[in-house]
Amino acid sequence: MGFCFHTLPSFSEVLKEIKSKLRPTKSNALNTRRLALPEEFCCRFSLADIKAATNNFHKNMIIAEGDTGFIFGGKISDGFYAIKRLRQTSDSHLPLLELRYGVKFLSQLHHPNIISLLGYCDEKEEMIHVYEYANNGSLYDNLHAENDDPIPWKRRLEICISVARALHYLHTGAKFVLIHRDVSSKNILLDDQWTSKLCNFSFCKRGPHSMSRDPISIEIESDIAYTSAFIAPEVAITGRVSHKTDVFSFGVVLFEVLCCRRIFDAELEMHQRFLYRWACKCIENGTIYSIIDPYLKGKIAPQCLKKFLEIAYSCVQFEENKRPTMGEVEVTLELALESQKQAESEMESTNPQGEFMREEVSLSCTP
C-alpha cells in the first residue's frame, strides 16, 4: 500500500525550511508571474532538487501512475513527498494548463480532507507538482487489491464522509464555487491514519461567488478527457457541469465502496457493465444484497445500509435537480455511521459474535 515512515515534520515546518533555502532568480520571478501564484502558499523547486529527490526519475521511485503522469516518492529536506511528473502530450499546452490550474486552486484551499500542495517545478519543459505523501495509497488500490485485508465497513463510511466534507467545502466553503470534475476512487488518497485526501485538481473549474444565487452551470472544454463511468449524463449531453456533476460522480464512488466492484466491466452482461446502473436496478428490485462486497455481508446494520443506499441512489439520478447537495450527502452518511455504531453497541451487549440479518433491510427507493 506504500512506504512506511517514522513521524515526519509538519507541512508548515518543512515549507518554512525549504523557503529559507530557496534563492529567487530572475527566471523564477518570471515564471511565478506567468503562473500568477501567491508566493506565501507555494514554492517553486528547481529541477535539480526534483531529480535529486527522485533519483533522476528512476522507475523504482514510482509509487503510482495517474491519468496524466507518473507519481514518484521522494525525500525533500526531512520529509517524504509525492512528486507528480506530468506526462507530455501532443498538445504542449495541456501539461502547462494542468500545472497552472492545479497549483492555482490547491495553493488557496485549506481543508484536512484535501491534499496539501508543497510546490511545483516548470523548468526545461518539465511540469511537476509536489504534494504531501499519503502512504496508504488510493481508495481504489485499497478496494481492489487482491492480497490485502478488506477495509472494514465503518472505516469505509468514515472515508466517504471525509470526501463528502471536502466536496461540500469546494462547493460552499471557498470564496468561489469550485467543481472538482474528476471525483473517483483513484483521486481519493489515504494517509497513515486512514484520513481521506481528495486530490487531482487538474480539471477543477471555478463557478460563481459562493454567496451568489446565480445558477451554477459552466460550459467545459471539449478536449478534456473524463473517466466515462463517472460522467454525469448532462456532461455528455450538454457539455456543461455544475456542483451536481460532482455529486453524481461521488454517488458512483459510494456504490464502488459498497460493492467493491469495478465501476465498469466490459466482460459482464450489458445491464451489469456500469456498476451504478446495475446497483440502482438491484435497489429497485430489492436484490441489492446480492451484489455487495461478500466481506461486508452480515457486517452492515440494516438501518445503516438503508440510509447509505438511499443517498447513493439519489446521487446518481439522471436529472440534476433530483440529486442532493453535498451537504445533504454528508449529513446522511453521518447518520448512517451513527446507526451502525448504535447497532453494533446493542449487538455487543446481547450477541458479540452475531451478524446482522439481511432480511431486515427494507428499502423504499423508487425509480
Q: Which of 49, 122, 182, 293 is catalytic?
A: 182
Domains of the chain: 11-132 (3.30.200.20), 139-360 (1.10.510.10)
pTM as predicted: 0.82
CA gap 86, 92 in Å, rounded: 11
Q: What is the mean pLDDT of the chain?
A: 81
At 254-287, the pLDDT tens digits run 999 999 999 999 999 999 999 999 999 999 999 9
177: CB partners within 8 A, 6+ apart: 170, 171, 206, 207, 208, 209, 210, 216, 243
Return the C-alpha cell found at 214: 446565480
Secondary structure class of 302 (helix, strand, coil): helix
Work out the percent of the chain whose per-residue pLDDT is above 90.
52
pLDDT of 203 strictly over 50: yes
Cell of 72: 514518484
Position with higher pLDDT, 92 vs 324? 324
First vs last Cα of the chain: how many Å apart? 39
Rounded-to-integer distance, Cα 264 and Cα 275, Å:
6
What phi and psi, each to the nearest 5 degrees, are found at residue 129? -110, 145
pLDDT band of residue 215 (cuts 50, 70, 90) is low
Does the active-site annotation cover 182? Answer: yes
Task: Name which of 126-130, 228-232, 347-351 the model is least confident about.
Answer: 228-232
* 104 pLDDT higher than 80: no
Alpha-carbon distance values, 299 to 111, 136, 353 (Å): 31, 23, 11
Please indicate whether residue 67 or residue 260 has the higher confidence score (pLDDT). 260
Q: How far apart are CA 252 and CA 264, in angstroms?
A: 10
Give me the pLDDT at residue 225, please.
45
Tell me how far apart the alpha carbons of residues 248 and 327 are, in angstroms, rounded to a whole number: 14
Angle of helix 26-35 relative to helix 93-106, nearest 10 degrees? 80
